[in-house]
Amino acid sequence: MNQDEKKIKVAEAALEHIETGQIVGIGSGTTVHALIEKIDKVKNKIDAVVSSSELTTQMLEAKNIRVIQLKESGAIPLYIDGADESNQKKQLIKGGGGALTREKIIANASKNFVCMIDDSKYVKTLGKFPLPIEVIKMSQSIVALEVIKLGGRPVYREGFVSDNGNIILDVHDLEIIEPISLEQKINNIPGVVTNGLFAMRHADNLLIANGNGIEVI
């Protein structure tokens, strides 16, 4: 299977987690796009969706699926999303598409977080994929200096503004041995909205597409 085929297979596997009458949280990114393309199969099971990005909302509404705000749903039973990297503890790096803050909010509001990846994203140590940090623009230089002290090389994501109106710094050259500790340290820097480490709230079920099918961890 090529990467696109793996995305379709893992998306189909994730759809099997949806139960009748559920409010479902849905994330963003290319694997989620594959899931939305296949969502007609379970459309009649879904009460409503809480969406993590404006693009996801547009795609869902094009499928005539009701999208509601988290303040309307409260806690949700299921959240489905992809990731840019996952380790063996199901701790993740997310935010390659820039929707990390809303994704983290919905993940924390969910009872069951199902994460979809292909085997190229399953790693021993997080950090090869640059770690995104959503930052309030006026604090860009201060945050960058603090991140350098932590051993990273922050790069401003040119031409990108998050759905929340903020900028993204992508942090290269990190070898993340203690994801929970680093997530907390970065979030404590004034001006940081959040970072793309999902270690404190990691995935509950990790679906990995490989050449043989789907592995569930």
Alpha-helix runs per DSSP H in the chain = 3-15, 30-37, 54-62, 70-73, 100-108, 140-149, 179-187
**How many Å apart are CA 116 and CA 129, to the nearest integer?**
16
**How many Å apart are CA 122 and CA 52, to the nearest integer?**
23
Give the position of tokens 């990273």.
152
Concerning whether 175 is annotated as a catalytic residue, the answer is no
Of 103, 134, 146, 183, the catalytic one is: 103
Q: Which amino acid is at 28?
A: S
For the packed helices 30-37 and 54-62, what is the interaxial angle rounded to 10 degrees? 10
Residues labelled catalytic: 103
